Structure 1
Amino acid sequence: MKFVAITSCPTGIAHTYMAAEALEQAGKAAGHDVQVETQGSAGSAPFDPAVIAAADGVIYAADLEVRDKDRFAGLPFVDVGVKKAVADAPGVVAAAVAAVEAAPKGSPAPAAGPALATKVTANAHVGTRIRQWLMTGVSYMIPFVAAGGIMIALSFLIGGYTINKVTAADLIASFDPTTAHDWAGLLFVLGGSAFGFLVPVLAGFIAFGIADRPGLAPGFVGGTIAVAVGAGFLGGLVAGFLGGFVALGLARLKVPNAVRGVMPVVVIPLVATFITAGAMLVVLGHPLKWLMDELTAGLNSLSGGGIVLLGVILGVMMAADLGGPINKVAYTFATTGLATVATASGQPVELKVMAAVMAAGMTPPLGIALATFVRRNLFTEAERQNGKAAVLLGAFFITEGAIPFAAAAPLRIIPAAMIGSGLTGGLTMAFGNTLRAPHGGIVVFGLVGQPLLYLLAIVIGSVVTAAAVVVLKGLHRKAPEAQSTATAAQPATV
């Protein structure tokens, strides 16, 4: 059979492409042709219409709503999360075969125009839907984090920390393309501008996840007001949920047909934006600012065992689901904190939080890869090959490099990863490491405070992870071996 597949994950980075590779290989092993369109952060190359026309079925392995889904109308399909495709690609392909066999093939509809994407399950539990709304906001926020944070980090690397005194007006008045200082200043100003969108984008797309397009205006404007009043990340969350629910409530009102046509383009944006932004400015802004100030003061007051414990908790969260929602909560906490102090002098605790989160996120793939090298007999040939890839993924802070191993043995791999990452996070806090870049792994080591101690923390955490993996997988192997020995000792019967 011939299948077309779509893969996408909230961040559009590792899971998207790992699922694509897994589906292609599983299809080939089963004798089927699986072609994949990855709707990731790098964009996507849409299928040729002829490929869709020749397909027997569709595989959706996506945590975001598939763009241009109308192209596949009439085709039998299976719809699973992206992690399912990574963990059990043969099972997903088998389910797609069963779907094709159970339903007649239809004719695909013409392609629709491009659309924004979200994936919120209508009948899911409240907790699941809240997580999906949050992840929608985070998925659209991360490109701004990467672009803005790395530009700011590069500006400090080139021009030093005094580059934060450069303003856009300075560059407009006297930009000199022959000086490294002015290029560093340009990077700093552009990065700061990108960072300025973090909270509005987070709020806007949380609201979009709740109310679809009507939620965008109230979410974005409410998030902007949250920044203006100093309510920061918490204000963005509140603005996103408030704007989304106000817009959703207005969209569900029963109004005369004469008014219905102007509701989505005039009434809902106007009323929802006024209510959301007005509430953020005159009602919610002050208490949320006070709460953010107290949280910031509490973070900055941490020292000794308190800050080490924070590092351990963040490290454990980074490894708890290896790139899933818990991991993204820790990462978002770090990056939004970094956004508030990225242009500041000194070494505020937010820079230590970012350092702990990145180091802890690098540890799982590096530690598991080390285990595949030192105890090869505990791993399959495919896992040993994945171990080589995990070295690069871990080095560049892509925690998802550990997923193939966790999918095969979650109760042994994930606890081992949590132990190593928790230790790494605690050590970076104890060493006083700081980091001004939100991503990059080894690429941004030049921006790490006390880089040798930082590397030591990662090495120690990786070694502990590898040791824990070896012990846990070794214990698992004893039972089959013992059973095999006992079976061999039994007298043969005829």
Structure 2
Amino acid sequence: MKNLNLKKHMMTGISYMIPMVVVGGILGAIAKAYNYDIGNMGPEAGATIFSALNLLNPDHFFWAVNWLSSQAMGFAVAVMTAGVAYSIAERPGIVPGFIIGYAANTGKAGFLGGLVMAFVIGYFINWMKTWKLPKWMVGLMPVMIIPVVATLVCGVIYFVVINTPFSIAMTALQQWIMSLNGGSKFIIGAVIGAGMGFDMGGPVNKTASMAANALGADGIYGPMSAKIIGGMTPPVGVFISTLITPKKFSNVEKETAKTAFPMGLCFITEGVLPFAAADPARFIPASMIGSALAGGIAVAMGVESMAGHGGVFVFPMMANPMWAVVALVVGSVATGVVYSLIKKPSVEGAEIEEEIVDLDINI
């Protein structure tokens, strides 16, 4: 397994994804700091949604900033998938990786689906490079044959192996979460919170979010608070972990956690994707524990939110906002403590970072 350099390939993709997540998160935080209800602030429909855009209007300006944030977040998984595929198969891996990574994100398979497909794409392309072709076709390999064939074949694999099973499983999970509403408030809050902390914007996270939204549409607003607070806990928790055990984190990880902290306060969970992708066996359980505790406390203590987004900016509008703060603090500290206890020191950090810097993309 070491000869496959799985760690190096994964960290390369993550290093390309981090700036995308940072830009998206910070722009989104700036916009939401102005007004959490961004969706209703945009221009009136015209020839396109941008034809009536007036950036001198503050509502329009911050709507545009939030739109840029959404685009950045939407392409984060695609950049990661392309980066991992590039690390494995060099330039021919970029296009299939980007396309299928974007499909994984929009298809709700999230970064986990994108990461799995990156390795499939990379090694499939390496196999294609061994094909014995006529001389006249050799020149077509990098610009036509590999991109088209790899995207087609790996795309079919994605839809059959990843997308369809994920969709069936996530539909069943959503129905199960909603069925818990008649029981213990702590349990449904904990389940939604744990789902939000599982894959940070991936299919389970989105399913838990949709279940909370569906209950909110029926006038049941407790699960909405678990959704928001449970999604805020992982970024805040990893920042706390870097404060508790700083020697276990590389400099890059510390800087990433510093950026994730304000993103988490704005309910942008994706800031911790680098940690979840690089150390899933340890970070995801720590994240789920904290988010479950936060969500359970919030719903059990009567915290309710009619808003579906906004992070700390909507806390004052929640029912029992002080308990929302308590739930966030307790859950985040739990994540930070658990992750600090189980995380291995980042011994390879400096070496991996240096290797990543040396990689150069020439297009």
With the length of structure 1 as denominator, give the TM-score of the two structures: 0.45
What pairs up with 1:116-131 in 2 under 5 angstroms? Answer: 124=2, 129=6, 131=7
Render the CA deviation track for 1:180-215: whole Å, top value 9, x for unaligned: 211222123222222221332233223223322211
2:359 pairs with 1:359: no
CA–CA distance in structure 2, aligned partners of residues 301 and 364 of structure 1: 35
SS of the aligned residue for 2:56 comes to coil
1:430 to 292, 297, 301: 297
What pairs up with 1:163-312 in 2 under 5 angstroms? Answer: 163=39, 166=42, 171-227=49-105, 229=107, 231-233=109-111, 235-256=113-134, 259-280=137-158, 285-297=163-175, 304-305=186-187, 307-308=189-190
CA–CA distance in structure 2, aligned partners of residues 200 and 274 of structure 1: 16
2:313 pairs with 1:446: yes
**Structure 1 residues 235 and 167, CA gap change in structure 2 (3 angstroms):** farther
**Structure 1 residues 223 and 366, CA gap change in structure 2 (3 angstroms):** closer
**Structure 1 residues 352 and 254, CA gap change in structure 2 (3 angstroms):** farther
CA–CA distance in structure 2, aligned partners of residues 125 and 423 of structure 1: 35
Q: Is the Cα–Cα contact under 8 Å of residues 238 and 335 in structure 2 kept in the other structure?
A: no
CA–CA distance in structure 2, aligned partners of residues 365 and 152 of structure 1: 24
**Structure 1 residues 157 and 398, CA gap change in structure 2 (3 angstroms):** closer
* Counterpart position of 2:28: 152
Question: Counterpart of 1:456 in structure 2: which amino acid?
Answer: V
Q: Is the Cα–Cα contact under 8 Å of residues 355 and 428 in structure 1 kept in the other structure?
A: no
* Counterpart position of 2:200: 334
Pick the structure with more strand per residue.
1
Q: Is the Cα–Cα contact under 8 Å of residues 366 and 394 in structure 1 kept in the other structure?
A: no
* Counterpart position of 1:143: 19
Question: Counterpart of 2:232 in structure 1: which amino acid?
Answer: A
Question: Counterpart of 1:225 in structure 2: which amino acid?
Answer: A
**Structure 1 residues 145 and 238, CA gap change in structure 2 (3 angstroms):** same
Deviation at 1:256, TM superposition (A): 5.0
Deviation at 1:124, TM superposition (A): 0.3
SS of the aligned residue for 2:2 comes to coil
Deviation at 1:306, TM superposition (A): 5.9
SS of the aligned residue for 1:293 comes to helix
Q: Is the Cα–Cα contact under 8 Å of residues 289 and 334 in structure 2 kept in the other structure?
A: no
Which of structures 1 and 2 has the bigger CA Rg? Answer: 1
Deviation at 1:244, TM superposition (A): 2.0
What pairs up with 1:99-138 in 2 under 5 angstroms? Answer: 124=2, 129=6, 131-138=7-14
SS of the aligned residue for 1:189 comes to helix
Question: Counterpart of 1:334 in structure 2: which amino acid?
Answer: M
Deviation at 1:144, TM superposition (A): 2.6
SS of the aligned residue for 2:200 comes to helix
Question: Counterpart of 1:354 in structure 2: which amino acid?
Answer: G
| Alignment root-mean-square deviation, CA | 4.9
2:326 to 456, 462, 465: 456
Deviation at 1:260, TM superposition (A): 3.6
Q: Is the Cα–Cα contact under 8 Å of residues 145 and 198 in structure 1 kept in the other structure?
A: yes
Render the CA deviation track for 1:209-232: whole Å, top value 9, x for unaligned: 332221111111223334555554
Render the CA deviation track for 1:260-287: whole Å, top value 9, x for unaligned: 4432233211221222234445776433
**Structure 1 residues 229 and 336, CA gap change in structure 2 (3 angstroms):** closer
Which runs of no fewer than 5 residues in structure 2 stay unpaired? 217-223, 248-253, 265-281, 339-363
Deviation at 1:364, TM superposition (A): 2.8
**Structure 1 residues 271 and 421, CA gap change in structure 2 (3 angstroms):** closer
CA–CA distance in structure 1, aligned partners of residues 26 and 166 of structure 2: 29
With the length of structure 2 as denominator, give the TM-score of the two structures: 0.58
What pairs up with 1:316-331 in 2 under 5 angstroms? Answer: none
Q: Of the two structures, which has the highest relative contact order with CA contacts closer than 8 Å and spacing of 6 or more? A: 2
CA–CA distance in structure 2, aligned partners of residues 239 and 174 of structure 1: 40
Deviation at 1:250, TM superposition (A): 0.5
Deviation at 1:246, TM superposition (A): 1.9
**Structure 1 residues 339 and 134, CA gap change in structure 2 (3 angstroms):** farther
**Structure 1 residues 168 and 360, CA gap change in structure 2 (3 angstroms):** farther
Q: Is the Cα–Cα contact under 8 Å of residues 93 and 122 in structure 2 kept in the other structure?
A: yes
Deviation at 1:313, TM superposition (A): 10
Question: Counterpart of 1:224 in structure 2: which amino acid?
Answer: Y
SS of the aligned residue for 1:172 comes to coil
**Structure 1 residues 137 and 295, CA gap change in structure 2 (3 angstroms):** farther
Pick the structure with more helix per residue.
2
